[in-house]
Amino acid sequence: MTIGPCSGDLPGTLGEAMPFLCEGAAVTLAAAGGGSLLAVAIALPVGLAAVSGRRAVRAAARAYLEFFRGTSVLVQLFWIYYAMPLLTGYQLEKTFAGVLALGLNLGAYGSEVVRGALRSVPRGQWEAAVALNLSPYRRMRHVILPQAFVAMIPPMNNLLIELLKATSLLSVITVADLTYQGRLLVNSGSDQAAVFALLLVVYFLFAYAITLAMRAVERRAGRLVGRGGPPRRRPPPLPAPPSTAGEA
């Protein structure tokens, strides 16, 4: 009989906790994935707006960034889920409200990453693109963004991990994520130390998977813009030993 990691047939506390933690892990992954997509979708245009030549566009980007970066994500979550329905008359589904709060908050941090990466591209590259008479779109698409993208990846990796960990806040609005399921297990009498140790392990595995994926993306992006270094060459073969045929 094959026993999976989410099976209730596992020994001891594992069998008691893993089925519930696996259900919560699926919710956590869905919330982290949705929040990440929203954060990236917000970060790129806001980051581009932050380096715009138009003052009004830069001001709007800065207002969004400073507001969501300067206020607590937990307060933003409460406001979206509890306060906004009082003003609009519409109650958002709780998981969607959590994804929206995480995406808006981490999107603000991500937009600063995008802005910094764009500013890190050497000035000569910008001037060369202008000298080639490229349109603003083609300058950004073919010259600036490919180089800036490589610089974005390490800090974006950190932000995605922070977003993953921030999904634990969704338990305060009763989203049945990993942390919520762990608290239910502890409240029902499960071994507290064992349950929280399992939570640590699961969050670590998810974060490590994000790191491995982003490192692979960074290597690939670096090679595309010529920053991956020269290809490794195999050392030349050792010379063959002299033949001893005919020696006697």
pLDDT the model gives residue 248: 43
The answer, as to whether pTM is greater than 0.95, is no
| Model confidence band, residue 126 (pLDDT cutoffs 50, 70, 90) | confident
pLDDT the model gives residue 57: 92
> What does the mean pLDDT of the chain come to?
86
> 12-224: which CATH architecture?
Orthogonal Bundle (1.10)
Residue 34's closest CA among 111, 120, 93? 93
| Model confidence band, residue 124 (pLDDT cutoffs 50, 70, 90) | confident
Domain spans of the chain, in order of start: 12-224
Does residue 229 register a pLDDT over 70?
no
Q: Mean per-residue pLDDT for 152-161?
A: 93
Does residue 90 register a pLDDT over 80?
yes
Angle at 31 between CA 211 and CA 170, to 5 degrees: 110
pLDDT digits (tens, 9 = 90+) for 6-42: 777 777 778 788 888 999 999 999 999 999 999 999 9
Does residue 242 register a pLDDT over 70?
no
Q: Mean per-residue pLDDT for 122-150?
A: 81
**Residues 101, 107: Cα–Cα separation, whole Å:** 10
For residue 117, which amino acid is it? A
8 Å CB contact between 50 and 199: no
Q: Mean per-residue pLDDT for 103-118?
A: 93
Residue 108's closest CA among 52, 65, 170? 65
